[in-house]
Amino acid sequence: MTLRLPRERPDRPPTGYKIAYPVLSRDGTRAGFTGVSLGGGTPYGVLGDARCVYGRRHRAPARRCDCGFHCLHSAAEAADLTCAGEHRRAVVLEVAVLGAYIRYERGMRYARQRVRRVRVGPCACGRTATRFADAEWGLPGWRVVAADCGECAVVRSGVPLGEFARLAGEGLVVAPEEGRRDGTGGSVHELIAEAALLQARLDWFQKELARLDGLRP
């Protein structure tokens, strides 16, 4: 006798939460996301279908494989993952789980998804993000971007949050979390981070001045 798990037939697609890095295409005409672990080398759009990252021909999610999109049931649990050093620049995605899925205690593994909402944390300085700026790393054909208040990464290219949503399409909502306001005191860690960013900007200006001085006849 084979024990089969019960099949769920929900009235509406289940909601899940995950973290990812926002990305912009090299020519700046498309926006999407890339994962932080399994399948992280393959960017995906707002509406996407999962494929087996191991190149097998079965449909994702296969029971004897770990392929497919992954998400958690809890938004707070997903947000907690952005505290890890390697994921500080990630955003939290709210997704609609579409197609076949396998439910686990903490989340789901599934075949298809629609990203409905992007929750963007504050800039590294602690202020509310107003745009995505170049994070200075990426994938072939794609640049990873990160939350910026509009002042800290002024020397880097980027797009306003609303423009990112437009490029991504499919009615995506990009919502920044409120950070500290200008004129309010930050914590010691926030002030140290802001000082480091200011120093990085000063170093860049000094390098440019030295370059321009070398071009003089």
Within this chain, do residues 195 and 99 fall inside the same structural domain, yes or no?
A: no
pLDDT at 37: 85
- Decide: 66 and 109 in contact? Cβ < 8 Å: yes
pLDDT at 188: 53
Specify if 54 maps to a domain. yes
Within this chain, do residues 46 and 116 fall inside the same structural domain, yes or no?
A: yes
Domain count along the chain: 2
d(CA 32, CA 25): 8
Within this chain, do residues 62 and 141 fall inside the same structural domain, yes or no?
A: yes
Within this chain, do residues 86 and 148 fall inside the same structural domain, yes or no?
A: yes
Specify if 143 maps to a domain. yes
Dihedral of alpha carbons 29, 117, 94, 59, sign: negative
pLDDT at 109: 96
Side chain identity, residue 59: R
Query: Which residue range is the domain that position 118 belongs to?
Result: 15-181
Specify if 7 maps to a domain. no
Specify if 40 maps to a domain. yes
**pLDDT tens per residue, the chain (217 residues)?**
455 656 788 889 999 999 999 999 999 999 999 999 877 888 999 999 998 888 888 999 998 898 999 999 999 999 999 999 889 999 999 999 999 999 999 999 999 999 999 999 999 999 999 999 999 999 999 999 999 999 888 788 889 999 999 999 999 999 999 987 655 545 555 566 667 777 777 777 787 777 777 666 5
Within this chain, do residues 153 and 216 fall inside the same structural domain, yes or no?
A: no
For residues 108, 113, 119 and 121, what is the CA-based torsion angle, rounded to 10 degrees?
70
pLDDT at 204: 76
d(CA 109, CA 32): 20
Closest C-alpha to 21, from 179, 125, 142, 192 = 142
Within this chain, do residues 61 and 157 fall inside the same structural domain, yes or no?
A: yes
Specify if 195 maps to a domain. yes
pLDDT at 9: 82
Specify if 5 maps to a domain. no
d(CA 65, CA 54): 9
pLDDT at 203: 78
